[in-house]
Amino acid sequence: RILYFLVHQRYVLSPRGLDTVRRRFLYKAEVDPIFGKCPGLGCNGMPLLPYGASNDYNPSGSQDSRAKRYCASCEQVFYHWDSKVDGCAWGNSFCHLFLMEFYDELFSSWRSAAHALPTVKSIFGFSVALECHCCVQISAMNQNNSPGCA
């Protein structure tokens, strides 16, 4: 079980895994989002993303170690009572990496002006600015053969 969670985390952070989650999102986003909708009034039912507070497995199975949901509009992390999965299955980098890759494609219609208590956005422990799309667009880098941001 522990090995499955850690392999799942590695897979969803890969380009193929990100694309798999994107396709699932496109399939169900409008009708019934796969990870639920944000309960915040200002978010207009924005789809939530899975979020793990840690990349390491916690054998205690406490509420703090379980997977949570992250809203990109209000930047809040929500605890869902029905989650039985440890947060390490998604890790704390997935939702921010997913947003950097696919925000314009999937979430542009849910943009909100209300932002309260933002979470620290990080990928592999490094703080990131979501405005810098040029460093993470893998397909653009492969097409142009550019090493990244200039």
Query: Each residue of 3-27: pLDDT tens digit?
Result: 888 888 899 999 999 999 898 888 7
Q: What is the pLDDT of residues 112-142, one digit of tens each?
A: 444 444 556 777 777 776 555 544 444 444 4
pLDDT at 74: 85
Mean pLDDT for all residues in the chain: 75
**95-110 residue pLDDT tens:** 889 988 888 888 776 6
Average pLDDT over residues 28-54: 81
Calculate the CA dihedral of residues 82, 32, 96, 112 and round it to 10 degrees. Answer: -110
Answer yes or no: are the C-beta atoms of 52 and 82 closer than 8 Å. no
Identify the pLDDT of residue 134: 47
Q: Which two tokens stand for residue 81?
A: 């009572």
Placement of tokens 């209000």 in the chain: 74
Give pTM, 2 decimals. 0.68
Q: Is the pLDDT of residue 51 over 80?
A: yes
| Per-residue confidence (pLDDT) for residue 57, from 0 to 100 | 84
CA 114 to chain centre: 19
Who wins on pLDDT, 53 or 121? Answer: 53
Who wins on pLDDT, 135 or 83?
83
What pLDDT does residue 146 have? 45
Q: Is the pLDDT of residue 111 over 70?
A: no
Question: Can you read off the two tokens belonging to residue 4?
Answer: 């499955």
Q: What percent of the chain has pLDDT over 90?
A: 8
Amino acid, single-letter form, for residue 134: C
